[in-house]
């Protein structure tokens, strides 16, 4: 292992690492635009300049290899002057768009300009104006804001594997574009918006939706497939405005897919169920008459499944399952999109064993659906048509809800606290990012009412479950933290 001196302190560096990686690993701040840990280094923004002992000029640390006894200095007047000059060069053609740019508030160019520049431009000529246009169904470019770092181009080549983006023209006319008639339209295309260090690439769905400093951010997990990508939910005025990935090396690395990112519109659907009919106690009274069945979807949280298991035991009711599978497994770098489009099937299998189909021939039926795109599959409709009593919990109005004597509107995953177990057996927390519609109560509340037990929060229910379910032994919300934890046996 080579040893280098970083700002006067000796540190060991893994063989093959660059100076920038050594700085990042050892907590030495170096500003950068084009370098990203999930992409190959390119060395084209020059913002990561540092002083190294075996060169007379400043060097771009993202391309400079560590060698034994190398002395690296990341601060000081010479380094600051180098970075100032790089910024001055970048800002020559950059428009003063911050007041109308969606990246404002989380833009590296703003932050580094604030840190290194004096706020005065020496540029007196005309700026070069570049194209503003849609590059694909979800991505638009403001070319004049582009600093030609090529992160987006490398992502499309190295991670998406589709290569739709390229840098066209020379010198200060360089700008990102697509080939004529071939838009950027791949399952992970919106990651280029997160990667863009400035506001050149914009998510068309988020355009002018929120100033980020007014919005609320909540750390959660995507529920649109069994992968459970770690996400941050941005909400304003109780509406989800966007989701962006959080880094988790064990789940999704730096990325998430477009389908998961955009699958939030059903929350504000006109058909959303907002009023209940009957109560959880009515449901319990009907179930205790016997010959009762439960249908549970694998969209429900660990806490909800645990309470349903206890109800099933109390009512001596068989439990059948609703699941949803679509497409094939697709891999994009460190991200795998799963064909199982529900977030908690793995836990259902741990708790109930092999998942049984919808029970047929019961006199009464209780259906907990909550899968946004699933409404009354034929086997469920047949079982419901044959039942005398029907209780339904779901997100939206539909044929089952019309028939039901008891209706308990469901909270969507972003409106409640809880946990899911992903396809690899990792238990991860979801957090309430927005309030549910006024009359909608969290499932854990009315499931406990049906059970007739003391009302506990989702965290309290999880603690109870962890005492009895071997896969959850030793886990609690504190241990799960923001990155989740492997369940027992994984
Ligand atoms: S569009 Fe953004 S990510 Fe792509 S090269 Fe320009 S600045 Fe970099
Ligand atoms: S891969 Fe799955 S969990 Fe990840 S963002 Fe896409 S749908 Fe959501």
| Ligand 2 center–CA 268 separation, angstroms | 20
Question: In whole angstroms, what is the distance from residue 155 CA to residue 149 CA?
Answer: 12
Distance (Å, whole) CA 426 – CA 381? 33
CATH topology of domain 127-268: Alpha-Beta Plaits (3.30.70)
Q: Are 383 and 295 in contact (CB under 8 A)?
A: yes
For residue range 383-419, what is the model confidence (pLDDT) as tens digits?
A: 999 999 999 999 999 999 999 999 999 999 999 999 9
- Report the b/e string of 445-460 with b at 16+ CB within 10 A: ebbbbbbeeeebebbe
Averaged confidence pLDDT in the chain: 96
Q: Which ligand is nearest to the CA of 260?
A: 2
Instruction: Please say if the pLDDT value at position 475 is more than 90.
Output: yes
Span 87-98, mean pLDDT? 94
Looking at the CA of residue 141, tell me the nearest atom of ligand 1: 1
Q: Which ligand is nearest to the CA of 245?
A: 2
CA of 110 to the centre of ligand 1 (A): 15
Residue spans of the domains in the chain: they are: 3-90, 127-268, 280-486
| Ligand 1 contacts CB of residue 176 (under 6 A) | yes
pLDDT over 90 (residue 377): no
Q: Is the pLDDT of residue 222 over 80?
A: yes
Give the ligand 2 atom nearest the CA of 225. Answer: 2
**151 CA → ligand 1 middle, Å:** 6
Tell me, in angstroms, the distance from the centre of ligand 2 to residue 446's CA. Answer: 29
Provide the pLDDT for residue 376. 80
Q: What per-residue confidence (pLDDT) applies to 349?
A: 97
Predicted local confidence at residue 86, as pLDDT: 94
Quote the pLDDT of residue 259.
Answer: 97
pLDDT at 261 over 80: yes
**Structural class in CATH, domain 280-486:** alpha beta
Tens-place pLDDT, residues 40-58:
999 999 999 999 999 999 9
The average pLDDT across 63-75 equals 96
Cα–Cα distance for residue pair 329/336, rounded to 1 Å:
7
Q: Is the pLDDT assigned to residue 485 strictly greater than 90?
A: yes
Which ligand has the shortest distance to the CA of 428?
Answer: 2
pLDDT band at 243 (very low <50, low <70, confident <90, very high): very high
Is residue 375 over pLDDT 90? no
**What are the percentages of helix, strand and coil residues in the chain, rounded to 5?**
30, 20, 50
What pLDDT score was predicted for residue 90?
93
pLDDT band at 489 (very low <50, low <70, confident <90, very high): confident
Q: Is the pLDDT of residue 459 over 80?
A: yes
Q: Ligand 2 — pocket residues by CB below 6 A? A: 222, 224-225, 227-229, 252, 256-257, 259-260, 337-338
Instruction: Mark 180-204 as b/e (b = at least 16 C-beta within 10 Å).
Output: eeebbebbbbbbbbbbbbbbbbbbe
Q: How far is CA 481 from CA 224, 233, 257, 350, in A?
A: 21, 17, 23, 22
Question: What gap in Å lies between CA 113 and CA 116, rounded to an integer?
Answer: 5
CATH assignment of 3-90, given 3.40.50.720, 3.50.50.60, 3.60.20.10, 3.10.20.740?
3.10.20.740
Q: 433 falls in which pLDDT band (50, 70, 90)?
A: very high
Backbone angles phi, psi at 175, to 5 degrees: -160, 155
d(C-alpha 189, C-alpha 64), whole Å? 30
């Amino acid at each position: 292992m080579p040893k280098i001196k970083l700002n006067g302190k000796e540190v060991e560096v893994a063989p093959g690492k660059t100076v920038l990686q050594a700085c990042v690993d050892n907590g030495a701040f170096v500003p950068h635009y084009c370098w990203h840990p999930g992409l190959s280094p390119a060395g084209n923004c020059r913002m990561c300049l540092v002083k190294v002992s075996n060169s007379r000029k400043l060097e771009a640390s993202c391309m400079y290899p560590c060698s034994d006894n190398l002395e690296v200095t990341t601060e000081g007047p010479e380094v600051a002057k180098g970075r100032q000059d790089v910024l001055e060069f970048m800002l020559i053609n950059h428009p003063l768009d911050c007041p109308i740019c969606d990246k404002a508030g989380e833009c590296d160019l703003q932050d580094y300009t604030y840190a290194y520049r004096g706020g005065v431009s020496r540029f007196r000529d005309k700026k070069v104006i570049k194209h503003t246009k849609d590059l694909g169904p979800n991505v638009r470019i403001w070319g004049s804001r582009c600093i030609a770092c090529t992160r987006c181009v490398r992502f499309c080549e190295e991670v998406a594997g589709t290569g739709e983006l390229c840098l066209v023209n020379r010198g200060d006319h360089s700008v990102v574009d697509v080939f004529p008639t071939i838009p950027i339209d791949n399952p992970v295309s919106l990651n280029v918006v997160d990667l863009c260090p400035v506001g050149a690439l914009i998510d068309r769905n988020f355009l002018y939706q929120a100033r980020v400093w007014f919005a609320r951010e909540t750390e959660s997990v995507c529920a649109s497939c069994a992968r459970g990508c770690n996400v941050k939910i941005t909400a304003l005025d109780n509406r989800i405005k966007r989701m962006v990935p959080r880094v988790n090396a064990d789940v999704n690395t730096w990325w998430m897919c477009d389908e998961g990112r955009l699958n939030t519109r059903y929350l504000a659907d006109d058909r959303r169920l907002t009023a209940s009919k009957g109560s959880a106690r009515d449901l319990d009274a009907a179930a205790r008459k016997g010959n009762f069945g439960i249908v549970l979807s694998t969209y429900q949280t660990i806490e909800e499944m645990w309470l349903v298991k206890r109800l099933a035991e109390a009512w001596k009711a068989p439990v059948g399952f609703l699941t949803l599978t679509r497409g094939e497994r697709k891999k994009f770098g460190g991200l795998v999109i799963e064909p199982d489009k529900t977030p908690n099937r793995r836990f259902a299998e741990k708790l109930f064993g092999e998942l049984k189909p919808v029970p047929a021939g019961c006199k009464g039926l209780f259906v907990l659906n909550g899968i946004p795109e699933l409404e009354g599959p034929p086997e469920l409709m047949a079982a419901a048509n044959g039942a005398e009593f029907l209780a339904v919990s779901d997100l939206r109005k539909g044929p089952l809800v019309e028939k039901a004597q008891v209706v308990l509107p469901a909270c969507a995953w972003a409106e409640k606290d809880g946990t899911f177990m992903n396809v690899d057996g990792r238990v991860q927390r979801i957090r309430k990012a927005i309030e549910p519609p006024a009359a909608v109560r969290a499932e854990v509340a009315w499931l406990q009412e049906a059970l007739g037990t003391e009302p506990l929060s989702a965290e309290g229910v999880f603690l109870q479950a962890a005492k009895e379910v071997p896969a959850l032994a030793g886990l609690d919300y504190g241990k799960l933290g923001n990155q989740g934890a492997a369940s027992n046996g994984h």
